Amino acid sequence: MKVVGLDRDTIKAGLADRSLLLIDVREQHEFDQGHIPGSITHPLSTFDAAEIADLVVRDGRRPVFSCMSGVRSVHALSAAQQAGLSIEEHYAGGFKDWASSGEPIEI
């Protein structure tokens, strides 16, 4: 399995220039309590590789998984790669890193 951990500055730049599709794999209630602006929700508990593949094709941006602290996003990478998707990147620090650094939060 290939895992590439991205830092906050890379995530910020990718969201700003719309080159990155940030897929938050935390549970819906976690996402609803606060998420990174521009991210979309796709909980790991209901992970569907076909849905992710369709989303990535329709959206066209580079997919990056995110979660609370970088653990579930690695599990999502594993599931995606086992399903044949070529997604390798995740936000290593996750929402915890984003929020603790004072970046804006969307609710």
pTM of full prediction above 0.75: yes
Q: How many separate domains does the chain show?
A: 1
Rounded to the nearest 5°, which phi and psi values hold at 15? Answer: -75, -40
Cα 78 from Cα 71, distance rounded (Å) = 11
Residue at 54 is within a domain: yes
Among 21, 32, 36, 19, CA closest to 96: 36
pLDDT per residue as tens, the chain (107 positions): 999 999 999 999 999 999 999 999 999 999 999 999 999 999 999 999 999 999 999 999 999 999 999 999 999 999 999 999 999 999 999 999 999 999 999 99
For residue 58, what pLDDT is reported? Answer: 96
Domain housing 26 = 4-100
- Let me know if residue 73 belongs to a domain: yes
Angle at 88 between CA 65 and CA 6, to 5 degrees: 60
Q: What is the CATH number of the domain that holds 30?
A: 3.40.250.10
